[in-house]
Amino acid sequence: MSRPTVGVTSYWTQAAMSHWSCDAVLVSQGYVEGIRLAGGRPVVLPADTTWIEEPDDVLDIVDALLVVGGNDIDPTHYGQEPHASIGTLSPRRDAVELALVRRAVARDVPLLGICRGVQVLNVALGGTLDQHLADTIDVSPHRLSDSEFGVHEVETVPGTLARRLIGERLRVHSHHHQGIARVGEGLVVSARAGDGVIEAIEHPGRRFCVGVLWHPDAEHDGHGAPVFEGLVSSAR
């Protein structure tokens, strides 16, 4: 069977490349490699504003969707004023990804959200975010510094897809300052960190609809593979 096609969302931002500095569509290689090594055909998707009103335009040609990390989501999408810690926003990317995720869930297109991606999934289904975890907990296990991943353990919930994919416990890399607050409609918590932070959510009424707050794309010892393999397997 040919490889299933997985659409991979991307940054819409400015970047410096060689002697050029320009607006760019880009994505970290770890996401692309995660899909490729799991047997999928990764295709990078720009934040095409056509998809805000017509998400089927792209969902008709992919077998699954991977929503990657990146900027904080504009808190107005979940009815809050921005915290002082909120960084540069990407209104275009927010609008496109929220539309794609809502439609993918409605159509039961296999979906994986990573870091920002799990937050997009939660907000798309009516959930809210904790805008700055450092207000209440020590975030160093989740984000050691602006440029360094935190490393910590997550524990999955019995009976969930997350438990079947990765087992009871997993040591992960993460890099986030926000977390899941109110869980979106139809979603359930499927993993937590030792400090109680929600690390994974999923939709039990869909073939594969999973979001993880950690970064399987940053793993170098194979720990990230089960999440990508689960997405690609569902896409088949």
Say yes or no to pLDDT of 221 above 90: no
- Listing DSSP states for 45-71 in one string gives ----THHHH-THHHHTT-SEEEE---S
**pLDDT attached to residue 1:** 60
> pLDDT grade, residue 227 (50/70/90)?
very high
pLDDT digits 0-9 by tens, 74-114 = 999 999 999 999 989 999 999 999 999 999 999 999 999 99
CATH superfamily entry for domain 5-235: Class I glutamine amidotransferase (GATase) domain (3.40.50.880)
Give 214's contacts (C-beta < 8 A, 6+ positions apart): 114, 115, 154, 172, 173, 174, 199
Main-chain phi, psi angles of 73, to 5 degrees: -80, 140
Give 135's contacts (C-beta < 8 A, 6+ positions apart): none
Q: Where are the domains of the chain?
A: 5-235
Q: Which residues on adjacent β-strands are paired with residue 112?
A: 66, 210
**pLDDT attached to residue 159:** 97
Burial status of residue 179 (CB atoms within 10 A of its CB: 0-12, 13-18, 19 or more): buried
Helix (H/G/I), strand (E/B), else coil: 199? strand
> pLDDT grade, residue 70 (50/70/90)?
very high
**pLDDT attached to residue 138:** 87
State the pairing for strand pair 179-180/41-44: unpaired
pLDDT digits 0-9 by tens, 100-159 = 999 999 999 999 999 999 999 999 999 999 999 989 988 888 887 877 888 899 999 999
> pLDDT grade, residue 209 (50/70/90)?
very high
